[in-house]
Amino acid sequence: MNTTPQLDPKDRPARLTVGVVGAGRVGPALAASLQLAGHRPVAAAAVSDASRRRAAALLPDVELVTPAEVLRRAELVLLTVPDDALPGLVTGLAETGAVRPGHLLVHTSGRYGTKVLDPALRAGALPLALHPAMTFTGTPVDVQRLAGCAFGVTAPQQLRLAAEALVIEMGGEPEWIAEEKRPLYHAALALGANHLVTLVAQSMDLLRAAGVEAPDRMLGPLLGAALDNALRSGDAALTGPVARGDAGTVAAHIEELRAHAPGAVAGYLAMARATADRALAHGLLKPGLAEDLLGVLADGTPGTPGTEGNDR
C-alpha cells in the first residue's frame, strides 16, 4: 500500500517543461507520468527506430530533436540513456554549453548517484538521481505500473524536497540511497530482478524439453507462491532438494542438465551452492547432509548418503 502522502495540487511545485534525452523504455514513460501530473513534455531525443516508436506512442505531441535542443527547450531534462553512456553524455552536454544555470537534470541510472552529473553541476544545473525500481516494457502500461513503485533517490540536501515531489507526482515512493551505496543498491536489484528473468526463461525451456505444453501456467502459481514466501519470510522460505540436502536428487539434476541443457549447468551449480550456504547458515540444512551435497556440487556425483534426516 502506498503510504507516502499525496501532494495537494496547491502544494505542488511550479509546472515544468520536460525533455527526454534517450527515448528507451524508461524516459517516455516517466515523461508521460509527469504529464499526467501537469508538467509539459516539449522535446525528446531518440536515435533508433524503436525509440522513435516508443516516443510516438507515449508522447505523441512531442517533437524529436537533438539532445542539445532538448536542453534548450526544457526546464526539467530526463537523461535516460544506458549507464555506461551517461558520463560521456553529461560531459558532452556541459562542454558544448547546452547546460544552463537552473536546469533540473534527472538521470535514472541505478548505478550512479549525483556525482556523475558534476560537469553539469559546474555549469549551474541542479542534479537529481531518480531510479525507478521496476522493469519497463516500453509500452503505455508502464505509466500505470509506476503507481506505488519505489524509486532509489539520491539528491543534494537542498534538492531533497524537489526530488521527493517529482517521485510522488509520478505515483512512486522515494527511498533515499546514499551516493556511495548506489552500486550496491543497483547490484541488489539486478541480482533479484534481472537474474530472475533468466532463471524463469531457462526453467520454461527445460519444461518444454520435458514435454510440458504450458510451462508458464505450471510455473505461475509455483513462482508466485515462492516469491511471496521469500518476501515475507526470507531464508525461512527455502525448500527443495538443496535445502533438504538431497544429494542424490541434485546429482540427477546435474546429469540431466549436462545431457539436455549444458548451458544451464553453471547457473544451476552457482545457485545451488548459494542456496546451500544460506540454508546451512540458517539451520535449515543439517551439517552431515551439507557435506554430501557440497561434494555433489563440486564434481556432480553423489557421495556417501548422510544419516541425518531433513524434512521436506
140-156 per-position pLDDT tens digit:
999 999 999 999 999 99
pTM as predicted: 0.84
**SS3 of 78, please?**
strand
State yes or no: pLDDT of 308 exceeds 70: no
State yes or no: pLDDT of 66 exceeds 50: yes
Beta strands in the chain (DSSP E): 17-21, 40-45, 63-64, 76-79, 104-107, 126-132, 150-154, 173-176
**SS3 of 42, please?**
strand
87-98 per-position pLDDT tens digit:
999 999 999 999
